[in-house]
Amino acid sequence: MAAPGSDIEHGFPHLDTVRAAITALYHRLSRDTVDTFGVSVLPGDVAFADQDDLYLGVQRVARVMVQHLRLPDARMIVSFREMRHAGNVELAAGPEYFIELNSRFKTHRRDIGAALAHEVTHVYLHRLDLSFPGTRDNEILTDTTAAYLGTGWLLLDAYRQDSVSSQKLGYLTPEEFGYVLAMRALLFDEDPSPWFTSPQAYEAYTKGLELARREQARPPLTAAGWTGRRRYAKDRRAAQSGHPSPTGGDYAFEAGPPLSVSFPCPTCRQRIRVPVRGRLRARCGLCRTVLECDT
């Protein structure tokens, strides 16, 4: 995880990997399993007061993460040591997993839940045998999974910045965390914003939510706005005339017959192909989302 106090990157530089991670989750878990994570870890379940015993409290929060991710026989043994990163987990056959947290969390207990959300998600993905090649992409997969399955809002809430100090946990930018949380919120009708104690986290969430909502209103979806529909109609006429399919948008026309258009599902990002024949209803074969289209 990113070192606290390091320079904080903003925007959506890892968006392609984040979207690929969401698609990979649906491929590995199925929509039915994803739906079992419809309720996030609640703030009261991971609250950590200064007067709480450090090690008992850490074990309690670790159990919350284990139970949320359905790891009934996984035992987390947590210790603290000086290190550059926020945490580390030893991935072995189990059932015991050894997690090390940065010693700074002994006095910054409010963020222990965030650190454990990331490390326990590593264990979850290890047991799923789901990984991406390369450390960077695999860490992005871990952050995305934590956020999408209901523990990672804590990672965004750990983002704080003022004139003299800054902190961010995880490999995603704050806005990318906001995007994944927004994708989850739109799926489950769950609003995480009241849980944020960090004003910067709330701002990042709203930026991610704006992007997620725009993705749900892009052609050929009927929710697309007038500007998008006009551009789509122009591109469709070009494709029908035999010109190369336009690039630069989410959709792409494919020669027939019949002419078809492909576009990413706004829920799981799997590409969907449908015929160009006006209004129709499409069903994503991966996440089973039903989409109203005007092709």
Residues 131-177: tens digit of each pLDDT? 999 999 999 999 999 999 999 999 999 998 877 778 899 999 999 99
Measured in whole angstroms, how far is the alpha carbon of residue 175 from the centre of its chain?
Answer: 11
Per-residue pLDDT, 134: 94
Q: What percent of the chain has pLDDT over 90?
A: 79
57-81 pLDDT per residue, tens: 999 999 999 999 999 888 999 999 9
Q: How many Å apart are CA 212 and CA 217, to the nearest integer?
A: 9
H/E element holding 166?
Answer: strand 166-167
Q: Say how far apart CA 184 and CA 193 lie, in whole Å.
A: 12
Residue for token digits 């990113």? Answer: 2
Say which residues have a Cβ less than 8 Å from residue 44's Cβ, sequence separation at least 6.
Answer: none
CB 201 within 8 A of CB 156: yes
**Is the pLDDT higher at 95 or at 285?**
285
pTM for the predicted model, two decimal places: 0.93
Q: Distances in Å between the alpha carbon of 166 and those of 23, 105, 163, 177, 199?
A: 32, 15, 8, 17, 13
Q: What is the DSSP letter of 85?
A: S
Residue with tokens 């994570």: 37
pLDDT in tens, 185-209: 999 999 999 999 999 999 999 999 9
Which pLDDT value is given to residue 262? 95
List the beta bridge partners of residue 290.
283
Check pLDDT > 90 for residue 91: no
Q: What is the pLDDT of residues 109-122, one digit of tens each?
A: 999 999 999 999 99
Gap between the Cα atoms of 204 and 61, Å rounded: 25
Check residue 259 and give its pLDDT: 92
